[in-house]
C-alpha cells in the first residue's frame, strides 16, 4: 500500500527538469576601466572642498587655546574670503596684529616715559644697591618708596610694558598650526603659494624668505623693537638681541616648509612697519603716546649729548627717614607737590627748569659742597658700622 502511494506521488509530482546554466564569456574590458586605481587614490586623495570645520575633519583638532584660536581665524578667512592659502595666512596675521595693537600702544608709552626719567631712576637704583650692600634697610626702603613715588607722579604703570607679550602665545599658535598644515598635508598647499614659492609644503628653494626674515628682524631691533624705542636694557643684552636673534631666525627657518617661512616673513615685515610708525611724532601724537626722548627720536639733532643737570639729592646715614624737601622743580620736586599731570610736556618743563636755574647759580650747591656732603656721609656710615660691630651699641667719639 505504501509503495503504491509513493508511485502515485511520483506520477502526480514529477521532479523538476534541470535548467542549463548560461555560460559566462570573459569580459574584454580592462580592469583599470572598471575598478579604481588604488595607487592613484593613495597618491592623489579625493579633493575636499573647504568648509567650516574641515580642518578638524582632517585631524587638526587642538582643543582650546591659542592654536585653536588661530585655526578658527585662519579657517574662517580661507572659507569665507575664498583666498588661497598664502593670502589667508597673511590676512590672519594682519587681523591678529590689529587686534593686539592697543597693547603695543601701552607698551610704547610706558617705555618712552621710562627713558625720559632714566637719569633719575639710575640714581635711585644706585642708592638702593648701596643701601643693600651696607645692609641699611631703612635707607633701602626709603629709596624704594621714592622710586614708587616717581612712577606714580609721572604716570608710569610698569604692567603696561608687559602687555605686548600677549603676542607670544598667538605667535606660537600660528607656528604650531602652520607646521601641522604642512605635515598632514592639507589639500591645496601644494599650489597655494605665490611668486617663486608656489608649493607651501616644501622650503623656499631660493632661501629668500628666511634671509628676508632675519634682515627685517635686525632692522626692527635696530629701530628699538616693535614699540619704536626699547626701554632701559643692558647694553650687552641689547647687542645680543640685535645680532643674535636675526641670525638664529635665519638659520632655524631655512629648511622649514614655505608655509611656516611665509608666516615668519610676514610677521617681520609687519613688525618693521609698526616700529617705523611708532617712531614718527605725528603717529605718537595721534595715539597720545609719550614723545620719544631726544636720543631716541629719529629727528634728534646730531652732536654731543648734553650731560644731565638735574637736581642732586644727597644721601644721609640717618636711620630715621627724612621728610621730603620742598619742591624746587624737576621730577623729584614734583613728587613732593603730588602732581599727576601727563608726562607729555616733561621735556619742556625740564628745559624751563634748567634755563631758570642757569640764571640763578646761587640756588644750587657748588661741586665742592656736594663733594664735602658725600665725604661726610661716607664718614658717618663708617662710624655707625664700627659702633655696631665693635662697640656693641656704644658710640665712638668723633675724631
Name the residue with cell 636694557: 233
Q: What is the pLDDT of residue 320?
A: 37
The phi and psi torsions of 138 (rounded to 5 degrees) equal: -60, -45
Set of cell numbers at residue 314: 644727597
pLDDT digits (tens, 9 = 90+) for 323-332: 444 444 444 4
- The pTM for the full model equals 0.60
d(CA 146, CA 142): 6
**pLDDT greater than 70 at residue 208:** yes
**pLDDT greater than 70 at residue 60:** yes
DSSP string across 236-292: HHHHHHHHHHHHHHHHHHTTS-HHHHHHHHHHHHHHHHHHHHHT-HHHHHHTTPPPP
Alpha carbon distances (Å) from 47 to 35, 37, 186, 259: 19, 16, 10, 20
Grade residue 235 by pLDDT with cuts at 50, 70 and 90: confident
Q: What is the pLDDT of residue 210?
A: 93
Set of cell numbers at residue 88: 589667508
Grade residue 380 by pLDDT with cuts at 50, 70 and 90: confident
Find out whether 281 and 230 touch, Cβ atoms under 8 Å: no
Give me the residues paired with residue 194 across strands: 197
**pLDDT greater than 80 at residue 201:** yes
Find out whether 220 and 272 touch, Cβ atoms under 8 Å: yes
Share of the chain above pLDDT 70, in %: 64
Element (H, E) at 389: helix 367-389
Q: What is the pLDDT of residue 293?
A: 72
Over residues 217-224, the mean pLDDT reads: 89
Determine the 3-state secondary structure of 197 from DSSP: strand
Q: What is the pLDDT of residue 316?
A: 36
pLDDT digits (tens, 9 = 90+) for 182-199: 988 888 888 888 999 999
Q: What is the pLDDT of residue 13?
A: 56
Between 33 and 382, residue with greater pLDDT: 382
DSSP letter for 13, please: S
Determine the 3-state secondary structure of 194 from DSSP: strand
Set of cell numbers at residue 351: 628745559
Average pLDDT value over all residues in the chain: 75
**pLDDT greater than 90 at residue 312:** no
Find out whether 108 and 289 touch, Cβ atoms under 8 Å: yes
Grade residue 92 by pLDDT with cuts at 50, 70 and 90: very high
CA contacts within 13 A on the Cβ side of 170: 19
Find out whether 231 and 239 touch, Cβ atoms under 8 Å: no
CA contacts within 13 A on the Cβ side of 207: 10
Find out whether 169 and 234 touch, Cβ atoms under 8 Å: no
d(CA 51, CA 299): 51
**pLDDT greater than 90 at residue 90:** yes
364 contact partners, CB below 8 Å, separation of at least 6: 357
Over residues 214-230, the mean pLDDT reads: 85
Grade residue 72 by pLDDT with cuts at 50, 70 and 90: very high
333 contact partners, CB below 8 Å, separation of at least 6: 311, 326, 327
Q: What is the pLDDT of residue 134?
A: 87
pLDDT digits (tens, 9 = 90+) for 121-151: 888 888 888 888 888 888 888 888 888 888 8
**pLDDT greater than 50 at residue 303:** no
Alpha carbon distances (Å) from 50 to 76, 226, 338, 350: 10, 35, 61, 61
Q: What is the pLDDT of residue 217?
A: 92
**pLDDT greater than 70 at residue 342:** no
Range with lowest mean pLDDT among 121-130, 216-225, 369-378:
369-378
Instruction: Give the best-scoring range by mean pLDDT among 269-278, 338-347, 375-384.
Output: 269-278
pLDDT digits (tens, 9 = 90+) for 386-397: 776 665 544 444
DSSP string across 206-220: T-HHHHHHHHHHHHH
Q: What is the pLDDT of residue 242?
A: 84
Amino acid at each position: 500500500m505504501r509503495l503504491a502511494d509513493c508511485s502515485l506521488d511520483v506520477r502526480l509530482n514529477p521532479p523538476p527538469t534541470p535548467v542549463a546554466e548560461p555560460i559566462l564569456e570573459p569580459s574584454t574590458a580592462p580592469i583599470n576601466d572598471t575598478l579604481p586605481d588604488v595607487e592613484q587614490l593613495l597618491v592623489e586623495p579625493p579633493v575636499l572642498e573647504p568648509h567650516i570645520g574641515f580642518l578638524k575633519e582632517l585631524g587638526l583638532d587642538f582643543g582650546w587655546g591659542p592654536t585653536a584660536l588661530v585655526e578658527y581665524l585662519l579657517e574662517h578667512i580661507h572659507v569665507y574670503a575664498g583666498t588661497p592659502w598664502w593670502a589667508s595666512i597673511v590676512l590672519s596675521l594682519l587681523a591678529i596684529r590689529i587686534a593686539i595693537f592697543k597693547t603695543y600702544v601701552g607698551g610704547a608709552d610706558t617705555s618712552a616715559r621710562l627713558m625720559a626719567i632714566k637719569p633719575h631712576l639710575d640714581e635711585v637704583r644706585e642708592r638702593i644697591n648701596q643701601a643693600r650692600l651696607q645692609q641699611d634697610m631703612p635707607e633701602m626702603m626709603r629709596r624704594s618708596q621714592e622710586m614708587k613715588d616717581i612712577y606714580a607722579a609721572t604716570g608710569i604703570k610698569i604692567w603696561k610694558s608687559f602687555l605686548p607679550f600677549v603676542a607670544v602665545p598667538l605667535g606660537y599658535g600660528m607656528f604650531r598650526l602652520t607646521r601641522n598644515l604642512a605635515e598632514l598635508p592639507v589639500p591645496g598647499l601644494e599650489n597655494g603659494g605665490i611668486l617663486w614659492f608656489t608649493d607651501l609644503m616644501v622650503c623656499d628653494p631660493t632661501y629668500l624668505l628666511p634671509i628676508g626674515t632675519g634682515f627685517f628682524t635686525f632692522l626692527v631691533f635696530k629701530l628699538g623693537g616693535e614699540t619704536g624705542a626699547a626701554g632701559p636694557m643692558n647694553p650687552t643684552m641689547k647687542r645680543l638681541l640685535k645680532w643674535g636673534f636675526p641670525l638664529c631666525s635665519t638659520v632655524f627657518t631655512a629648511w622649514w616648509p614655505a608655509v611656516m617661512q611665509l608666516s615668519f616673513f610676514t610677521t617681520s615685515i609687519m613688525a618693521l612697519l609698526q616700529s617705523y610708525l611708532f617712531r614718527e611724532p605725528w603717529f605718537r601724537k595721534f595715539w597720545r603716546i609719550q614723545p620719544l626722548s631726544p636720543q631716541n627720536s629719529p629727528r634728534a639733532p646730531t652732536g654731543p649729548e648734553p650731560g644731565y643737570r638735574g637736581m642732586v639729592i644727597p644721601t644721609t646715614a640717618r636711620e630715621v627717614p627724612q621728610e621730603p624737601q620742598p619742591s624746587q622743580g624737576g621730577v623729584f620736586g614734583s613728587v613732593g607737590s603730588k602732581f599727576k599731570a601727563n608726562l607729555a610736556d616733561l621735556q619742556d618743563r625740564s628745559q624751563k627748569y634748567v634755563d631758570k636755574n642757569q640764571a640763578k647759580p646761587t640756588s644750587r650747591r657748588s661741586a665742592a659742597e656736594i663733594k664735602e656732603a658725600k665725604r661726610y656721609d661716607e664718614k658717618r656710615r663708617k662710624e655707625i658700622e664700627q659702633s655696631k660691630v665693635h662697640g656693641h651699641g656704644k658710640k665712638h667719639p668723633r675724631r
